[in-house]
Amino acid sequence: MPVRLIHSSSLGAPALGRLGSGSVLNRSAFPLLRPGYERAKRILDVSVCLFMLPAALLVMSICALAIVLCDGRPIFFFQERTGRGGRPFRMVKFRTMVVNAAELKATLAHRNRLTGPDFKVEDDPRVTRLGSILRRTSLDEIPQILNVLRGEMSLVGPRPTSFSASAYDLWHTERLEVLPGITGLWQVSGRSDIDFDDRVRLDIEYLERRSFWFDFVILLRTVAALVQQRGAY
């Protein structure tokens, strides 16, 4: 069920630099709706994805064959994620875990490194050997080009969460005002293991600074991070 966003400019919230765990951002300092920018960004997203599609399909074919040979089927992993306005959508990735990964998650709860609704386990035993390579190189994310073409994601934006908007605090809903992205500010911030509150603060910073130039900088930093293999993006 979509979330009705309540904008913090009407709540007298503190500025970004003074955000607390239960705070919201004062949006009066920057425009909330930017339809011209968003339309142009959508055209750019589709153009870039269509340009990359032939090469992406070749790489995807190789990855799919490797998964079948090493780990069997299924090749893809579909997961419900929270999109713009809190609307759920099915995000697609290459499968990097064992088939019964969801059932094994409960047995690893004591090893969760993050607080709140997030879940991250160091050296997750559910990740296959090939899956580890796909994650380290972010090749597992390539199929999300299809999500971008379908209008469910953008190349740059807040990363869609695997938990629903009902788990969000009020101030978290700021991040739902734009399309989620394949990459974003927190992925290239050099802080891969951060709690959801800190991720949201970076997402809100992105909302404040978003522009074609800032998107381009994030994409360049993402490429640099992938080349240096700093984390999974």
Q: What is the DSSP track for 158-221? A: PPPBSS-GGGS-GGGGGGGGS--EEE-TGGGTT--S--HHHHHHHHHHHHHH-SHHHHHHHHHH
Distance from C-alpha of 71 to C-alpha of 61, rounded to nearest angstrom: 15
pLDDT of residue 109: 79
Contact predicate 188/42, CB 8 Å: no
Cα of first residue to Cα of last residue in the chain, in angstroms, is 28
Give residue 131's pLDDT: 95
Residue 26 lies in a domain: no
Q: Which H or E run includes 37?
A: helix 35-71
**CA 172 – CA 147 distance, rounded (Å):** 23
Domain assignment present for 10: no
**Considering the domain boundaries, does residue 19 fall inside one?**
no
For residue 152, the 8-state DSSP code is S
- Distance between CA 184 and CA 227 in Å, rounded? 17
CA dihedral 178, 182, 78, 204 (to 10 degrees): -40
Report CA torsion sign: 156, 159, 164, 166: negative
Residue of 54, 52, 73 lying closest to 64 (CA atoms): 73
The pLDDT, as a whole number, for residue 187 is 85
- CA pair distance 118, 133, nearest whole angstrom: 23
What span, in angstroms and rounded, lies between the C-alpha atoms of 61 and 47?
Answer: 22
- 97 secondary structure, DSSP code: B
CB 142 within 8 A of CB 63: yes
Give the residue numbers spanning the domain of 88.
32-227
Find the helix packing angle between 35-71 and 129-137, rounded to 10°: 150
Does 7 map to a domain? no
Per-residue pLDDT in tens (0 to 9) along the chain, 233 residues: 444 444 433 323 333 333 334 434 444 444 555 778 889 999 999 999 999 999 999 999 999 999 999 999 999 999 999 999 999 999 999 999 999 888 888 788 777 777 667 777 778 889 999 999 999 899 999 999 999 999 999 999 999 999 999 999 999 999 999 999 999 998 888 656 678 888 999 999 999 999 999 999 999 999 888 877 665 53
Residue 116 domain-assigned (yes or no): yes
pLDDT at 32: 54
At 35 the pLDDT is: 72
Q: Is 1 a member of any domain?
A: no
Pair 232, 136: CB distance under 8 Å: yes
Distance CA 2, CA 82 (A): 9
Q: Please give the tally of structural domains in the chain.
A: 1
Rounded to two decimals, the pTM is 0.80
DSSP H or E stretch at residue 42: helix 35-71
Residue 77 lies inside a defined structural domain of this protein: yes
For residue 50, the SS3 value is helix
In a domain, 16, yes or no: no
